[in-house]
Every structure is written in structure tokens, then in C-alpha cells.
Amino acid sequence: MSRSVSYYVYALAFITLSLVFGMEPVHSQPFGYIFVFSDENHSTYCVNGEGIYSFESWIWCWPGDDGCIEANFSVGYPSNVQEDTTIVNDMIVSQIEGDLSSGVRVELNECQYDWFWMYRQVFYAMDNSRSQIYISLESDTSHAFLRTCASGNPARTCCACSLFVNYSAADEECFSIEYPVCNCSLTSTKQSSWGAIKSVMKPE
């Protein structure tokens, strides 16, 4: 089966399951990304240190052409990290329902069309075992998605990229959950080039 045929079969199956099980309709093709970075410049997703050390975790979003007005997701935390501080970006976040571990709904005060961060957390790595802080595409309360700024604010599924704990830059990897078309290596400190992501996700 060709790649393009496989893609459309996958999309049809997702839509069918959504209708059968009463899931909220979402586009089967991911339109945006939620990342966990280790810095305020959304440039790296690896942290490393000796013994017990502190590090930062930033939850960033890269919306698509239709922008983002709301994000729904949860975060998975490994057993070898201990949370110290959580800061919400109240410059753009207007309301929060739920919590990061079991599922959160983050409403923005206005539509965002470029990079924006929602949370900054400080952790302690308690040992040197390798692990990940990751965005889960499913939580206790909902499937992860971004709500766009298009008419009616439709919900669309998104890709998710992890922060790797006790990984050096030479080990840098990326973890995409559920959607094989996700490409977390397209991260950049520059303004978003959404055409580049769409070209990667477009089936041949």
C-alpha cells in the first residue's frame, strides 16, 4: 500500500471511530505542536547534569495557519524528577481548568499565531537515569487538542514533543506520540515557518 493510500485509510479510520464513539470531531491531520523545552528560547529539549541538579521545563505551542485560542492536554512526569516551581504565562493565559498531570484546559486571552509558552516549571533531577517529561495526547479528561481561531473555533489534534532528562546534546532525540507524521526536529528560535511543517506532513 502506498504512503498516500495509507494516510487516507488512517484518516478515514480515525473519523469513523470518532463518530462511533462520540468523540469530539477533530481533524485527523495534526495541525500544530505542543513541546516541552528546557529553555525560554524554545531551542533545546535535552537536560543533563551531575548528581541532584535543577533544570527548567517550558511548555511551548507552535500553532498552525488558523492560530490557537485554547489548548487541551496533560503532562507525564517521570519518577526521577521532583517539581519545585510552576509559573503560568498570565500575559496570554486567561483561564485554566484542571491540572497538568490529569488534564488541563488552557484558555488564551486572544488568538495566537506564532510561538507562545504556557507554563514554566523548575524541577530537580534526583538521579542520573534517563527519562522524559512528555505531553500526553490522551488524559483522564479528554484527548489532547488545540482549538483554533477559525470560524466556530474547531478542535484539531496536535503533535507532542518531549523533554529528555539526563540526555546530552549528542544524544538529542525527539518523541512524537501517536502520529508518525510529527517531526519535532523542525523546532527553531525563528518565527514559525508553517509551510515547512505542512510539507513534511503532506503525503506523497
More confident residue, 2 or 119: 119
For 42, residues 6+ apart whose C-beta sits below 8 A from its C-beta are 35, 58, 60, 115, 117, 187, 189
Q: What global pTM score does this model have?
A: 0.74
The whole-number average pLDDT for the span 105-127 is 96
Q: What phi-psi label fits residue 194: left (phi over 0), alpha (psi between -120 and 50 degrees) or beta?
A: alpha
Instruction: Determine which of 63-77, 83-97, 122-136, 170-184 has the lowest per-residue pLDDT on average.
Output: 170-184
Q: What end-to-end distance do the CA atoms of the chain give, in Å? A: 12
Secondary element (H or E) of residue 39: none
CATH number belonging to the domain at 29-186, selected among 3.30.70.1230, 3.30.70.600, 3.40.1440.10, 2.60.40.680 = 2.60.40.680
The whole-number average pLDDT for the span 99-110 is 93
Predicted pLDDT of residue 57: 97
User: pLDDT digits over 118-131, tens only?
Assistant: 999 999 999 999 99
Sole residue written with cell 518565527: 191
- Give the C-alpha separation, 156 to 83, whole Å: 30
The whole-number average pLDDT for the span 134-145 is 64
For 36, residues 6+ apart whose C-beta sits below 8 A from its C-beta are 45, 57, 58, 59, 60, 75, 133, 134, 135, 161, 162, 163
Stated length of the chain: 204
Asked if residue 80 has pLDDT above 80, the reply is yes
Using DSSP bridges, classify how beta strands 103-112 and 81-88 pair: parallel, antiparallel or unpaired: unpaired
Percent of the chain topping pLDDT 90: 48
Predicted pLDDT of residue 112: 95
Using DSSP bridges, classify how beta strands 155-161 and 27-37 pair: parallel, antiparallel or unpaired: parallel
